[in-house]
Amino acid sequence: MPPLPSEPCCKHNDERLVTVRGRALSNYSEDYRRYCEAKMVLNMKPKDRNIYMGKVLDKRGRLAWNELTLEVNRGV
């Protein structure tokens, strides 16, 4: 069974809790990875952002693109 979104994939020696939008997340959780990726995308120039999002759509599919778009629209 896959881990819950706010739980780490497994135990790591350097795991720590990070607070994001009032939630404590593992720095190894999928939620935190998605947050960091959205933060990176928001720091890109618009042209680079469009290229990156196009690659996400091509390589990871519509679901990943939708999730990242939602996270980016939240404004990190």
Angle of the 30-42 helix axis to the 46-74 helix axis, nearest 10: 140
- In a domain? residue 56: yes
- In a domain? residue 28: yes
- In a domain? residue 6: no
- Total domains in the chain come to 1
Which residues partner with 25 through β-bridges?
18
Within the chain, strands assigned E span: 17-20, 23-26
Confidence of residue 16 (pLDDT cuts 50, 70, 90): confident
Q: What is the pLDDT of residue 7?
A: 57
Q: What is the pLDDT of residue 2?
A: 45
Confidence of residue 1 (pLDDT cuts 50, 70, 90): very low
| pLDDT tens readout for residues 27-72 | 888 889 999 999 999 999 999 999 999 999 999 999 999 999 999 9
- In a domain? residue 46: yes
Q: How far apart are CA 38 and CA 53, in angstroms?
A: 10
Do 57 and 65 form a contact (C-beta atoms < 8 A)?
yes
- In a domain? residue 3: no
- In a domain? residue 2: no
Could you list the residue range(s) of the whole structural domain that residue 55 is in? 17-74
Q: Which long-range contacts (CB under 8 A, 24 or more apart) does 14-19 make?
A: none
